[in-house]
Amino acid sequence: MCGSYLDWRTSPYVLPYAIGLAFTVIQGNCSAPGNGHRGSERYGYDFDMPIGTEFIAIRAGVVVHVEESHSDGQIAPTGLDNYIVIRHDDGSHALYGHLTRSGALVTQGDLVSQTQTIGRSGNTGNTNNIPHLHVSVHACDPVTTGSTACPSQPITFRNTTANPNGLQQGQRYTALP
Ligand SMILES: [Zn+2]
Average pLDDT of the residues in 161-174: 97
How many residues are present in the chain? 177
Confidence label for 1 from pLDDT (cuts 50, 70 and 90): low
20 CA from centroid of ligand 1 (Å)? 23
Average pLDDT of the residues in 153-165: 97
134 CA from centroid of ligand 1 (Å)? 4
Does pLDDT of 28 surpass 70? yes
Please list all protein residues whose beta carbon sits less than 5 angstroms from ligand 1, which is an ion.
44, 46, 134
90 CA from centroid of ligand 1 (Å)? 23
108 CA from centroid of ligand 1 (Å)? 22
Average pLDDT of the residues in 24-46: 93
Give the pLDDT of residue 3.
83
Give pTM, 2 decimals. Answer: 0.95
Confidence label for 9 from pLDDT (cuts 50, 70 and 90): very high
Q: Which residue has the higher pLDDT, 111 or 35?
A: 111
Average pLDDT of the residues in 28-49: 93
